[in-house]
Amino acid sequence: MSLGQEAAELDARDPLASKRAEFDLDPQVAYLDGNSLGAPPRSVARRLEEVVREQWARRLIRSWDEGWWDAPERIGDRIAPLVGSAPGQVVVGDSTSVNLFKLLVAATRLNPGRQEILVDGTTFPTDGYVADSAARLTGHVVRRVAPGEMPGAVSERTAFALVNHVDYRTGELHDLTGITEALHAAGALAVWDLCHSVGAVPVELDAAGVDLAVGCTYKFLNGGPGAPAFSYVPARWQEAFDQPLTGWAGHADPFAMDEGYAGRAGISRARAGTPDILSMLALDAALDVWGDVTVGQVRAKALALGEFFLRCLDELVPGVEVLTPRAPARRGNQVSVRWPGAREALAMLTAQDVICDFRQPEVLRFGLAALYTRYGDVLRAARVLSGWPG
């Protein structure tokens, strides 16, 4: 059986094939960049029109009391099952960078007397920038360590470690439970960045005992460009959670207009400013696609897509350097390859309607968003790379 025949059969048997119809995607395009920007669910445009025409235009300011004000917590509870969290521990709002700053400063206050912060040495640059800034403000010292080396690097000096669940460049999946346990054994806290894992791989924050976590919603959750991020603060830390951006939305009585600050109870104290309602309700609509599918199903298909893509690369592009671990348990939902002249190759792929992305140094990333990615899409990408017709 040829690779083309196999791709057609796999797509025909795909139990998630019908989900693609829920997204507004050009059928002629092989979209393999959901790890950077998720495709738009069709429900989003309809919901936004309703929000603008009915809630904003008709109800006006009354809409704040009719669902807008509590949207960060309500939508957080919709994300909670996707990250293995009980209700009341996830809140949506602000960007990933802003939320990360809140969590990192709060983590130093939750674990005082320790002057070191461990940061994932392969982290997305923003995480390192924010960690360095938080350390300057709090008097801590940052030490960069590869995730796999953290169990041996943590000590009694370590306040917490900031780790990416999935490496943004290579797609490697790190051991959330094992690293968290090692940090806790040394008295340190575990702070996780879930940007490349939420909606892609199973995440069990409560079961693993994670202390704090942050994630974005515009990748595998398809919330739209610049969609608000989320913060996870488990119930055991909420009363002591002392974040630095003490804005009015996190106040115990926001409309009392008190001069002094007192944090709200529960997860709401992680809020800061006025919610960005249009983006937030677009995300709310995007989450509807999860109503009849589980992360486990998505993960199973993404692993199968990855296996097929790797075989296509091996057969059609022999010798290509695959940066993503081949062992299924060690990779997220993307495949990255090192490609000399990657920027030029990206232009070639794009010209043939194969959409992926590029990261330094010379890395092509192919996202396997299982809700809408087809086996034929990954075969097409391998064919273009090999010089075959698309």
Beta strand 357-359 with 363-367 is: antiparallel
- The pLDDT, as a whole number, for residue 387 is 83
Is the CA virtual torsion 33, 38, 40, 43 positive or negative?
positive
Three-state SS at 349:
helix
Cα–Cα distance, 63 to 127 (Å, whole number): 35
For residue 126, say whether it is annotated as part of any ligand binding site.
Answer: yes
Q: State the pTM of this model.
A: 0.96
For residue 217, say whether it is annotated as part of any ligand binding site.
Answer: no
Residues 6+ apart with CB under 8 A from 312: 3, 378, 379, 381, 382, 383
Cα–Cα distance, 368 to 370 (Å, whole number): 6
Cα–Cα distance, 39 to 65 (Å, whole number): 31
- The pLDDT, as a whole number, for residue 30 is 97
- The pLDDT, as a whole number, for residue 256 is 87
For residue 125, say whether it is annotated as part of any ligand binding site.
Answer: yes
For residue 127, say whether it is annotated as part of any ligand binding site.
Answer: yes
Q: CA distances (Å), 263 to each of 43, 185, 211, 252, in order?
A: 35, 30, 19, 5
DSSP string of 267-293, one letter each residue: GGGG--S---HHHHHHHHHHGGGGGG-
Three-state SS at 230:
strand
Beta carbons within 10 angstroms of residue 296's beta carbon: 10
CA angle 278, 372, 321 (to 5 degrees): 115
- The pLDDT, as a whole number, for residue 336 is 97
Cα–Cα distance, 311 to 304 (Å, whole number): 11
Catalytic positions, please? 124, 193, 218-219, 365
For residue 180, say whether it is annotated as part of any ligand binding site.
Answer: no
For residue 193, say whether it is annotated as part of any ligand binding site.
Answer: yes
Three-state SS at 264:
coil
Length of the chain: 390
For residue 122, say whether it is annotated as part of any ligand binding site.
Answer: no
Do 82 and 203 form a contact (C-beta atoms < 8 A)?
Answer: yes
Residues 6+ apart with CB under 8 A from 381: 30, 32, 309, 312, 349, 354, 356, 366
Cα–Cα distance, 259 to 115 (Å, whole number): 32
User: In this predicted model, what pLDDT tens digit does every residue of 22-57 receive, in sequence order?
Assistant: 999 999 999 999 999 999 999 999 999 999 999 999
Give the chain's residues under pLDDT 70.
388-390
- The pLDDT, as a whole number, for residue 7 is 96
User: In this predicted model, what pLDDT tens digit does every residue of 154-207 receive, in sequence order?
Assistant: 999 999 999 999 999 999 999 999 999 999 999 999 999 999 999 999 999 999
Taken in order of first residue, the domains within the chain and their CATH numbers are: 3-31+293-386 (3.90.1150.10), 47-291 (3.40.640.10)
Cα–Cα distance, 379 to 373 (Å, whole number): 11
